[in-house]
Amino acid sequence: MPSTWNPQTKDIFYPRLEFEPWYTDGMKVYLSSYRLGDHSDELVRLVDKKEARVAVCVNALDAAPDESRNGEVLTRELGDMRGLGFEAEEIDLRDYFNKEGLLEKMREFDAVWFSGGNSFLLVKAFRQSGFGEVLEQLVRTNKLVYAGYSAAFCAVSPSLHGVELVDDKDVVAKGYETGDVWEGFSLIDFYPIVHFRSNHHESDLVEEEYDYVCKNNIKHKTFKDGDVYLVDGEKEFVLTSDH
């Protein structure tokens, strides 16, 4: 069933819930606009293992003060994962910058959960740590569930062009390479617009981002806070906050 567009409100409406798959890898992906979203039971179902081990990464916030990154967000994300019955521990991608070992380490986990933050910083963290190899060898082959929200969603899209209207593309953090990054990791084949018309501090900027992708005919989907994008093998879903 095709999507429909309202030219007056610029709203795009997607049917609930199924799309033709564009991949054949049988991977499992759970991506939310903000935090767990309204369908965390689906994440539990995807992981499908009692006391599963989940790696929690907050590297998208590496430019933030430690008090915010570690004291607030990391503590919260670990708590969210443990609240779902998972055994959660932090994996800091910076420990693997320009080193070997991340792929083997990630084999110890059943899922990985990424917090939101700066999308450009997260893409750099993926590149410098070798997480792209994890995506190719573990996520795409259904050996690891990829999950997270906001920046974690954008980092695995084909392109970051437009994200700079919301995130600072020139953000600097210790240990990170400088320079622009514009290519995502193409785990998904569309541009996700998160925090769309939501009660979120970035939602006004997201309207500019939305105008940009529409004017440039970029394939995209919009996600309000609470909405979740789900890939389960050969099926792809959008779960809205209304269902």
Instruction: Give the pLDDT score at 200.
Output: 79
The Cα 42–Cα 31 span in angstroms is 11
Instruction: Give the pLDDT score at 8.
Output: 43
pLDDT 10s digits, 24-71: 468 999 999 999 999 999 999 999 999 999 999 999 999 999 999 999
Neighbouring-strand partners of residue 71? none
The Cα 229–Cα 153 span in angstroms is 9
Does 162 have pLDDT greater than 80? yes
Count of structural domains, the chain: 1
- Parent domain of 119: 4-239
**216 alpha-carbon distance from chain centroid:** 23
Q: How confident is the model at residue 19 (pLDDT cuts 50, 70, 90)?
A: very low
pLDDT 10s digits, 118-133: 999 999 999 999 999 9
205: left (phi over 0), alpha (psi -120 to 50) or beta: alpha
Q: How many residues belong to the chain?
A: 243
Query: Would you say 237 and 40 are in contact if contact means Cβ atoms under 8 Å apart?
Result: no
pLDDT 10s digits, 194-213: 988 888 778 789 999 999 99
pLDDT 10s digits, 71-127: 999 999 999 999 999 999 999 999 999 999 999 999 999 999 999 999 999 999 999
CATH classification of the domain holding 68: 3.40.50.880
- Specify the pairing of strand 228-232 against strand 235-239: antiparallel
Count other Cβ atoms within 10 Å, centred on residue 191. 24
